[in-house]
């Protein structure tokens, strides 16, 4: 009887900075522009992903187990000059 087993795992850390850089149309009313400007601020995203896979096979059976983990959080950075964002 042959027994084959395979174990694989990975862990990834992602750091991302975003900003919309949206140009409003000239015909857009002021109250809408003021409401939407809050979304045009720089934001950072930190994310960690983990993955684990176990695969085992015998002559008559095959077993596969997978586990994925995702940790994510956001922080909003408000600065006077958007060019200061890392």
What are φ and ψ of residue 33, in 5° steps? -60, -45
Q: Which two tokens stand for residue 8?
A: 């694989």
- 37 vs 26, residue with greater confidence: 26
Average pLDDT over residues 30-39: 82
Element (H, E) at 71: strand 62-76
Average pLDDT over residues 12-24: 80
Tokens 């919309």 sit at which residue? 20
pLDDT tens digits for range 47-58? 888 889 999 988
pLDDT at 80: 46
* Cα–Cα nearest to 79, from 8, 31, 16, 19: 19
Please state the domain extents for the chain: 4-84
**Which of the 8 DSSP states describes residue 4?**
E
């Amino acid at each position: 009887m042959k027994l084959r087993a395979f174990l694989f795992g990975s862990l990834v850390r992602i750091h991302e900075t975003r900003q919309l850089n949206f140009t409003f149309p000239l015909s857009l009313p002021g109250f809408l522009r003021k409401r939407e400007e809050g979304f045009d601020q720089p934001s950072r995203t930190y994310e960690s992903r983990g993955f684990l896979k176990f695969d085992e096979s015998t002559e008559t059976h095959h077993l596969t187990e997978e586990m994925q983990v995702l940790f994510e959080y956001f922080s909003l950075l408000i600065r006077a000059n958007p060019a200061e964002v890392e």
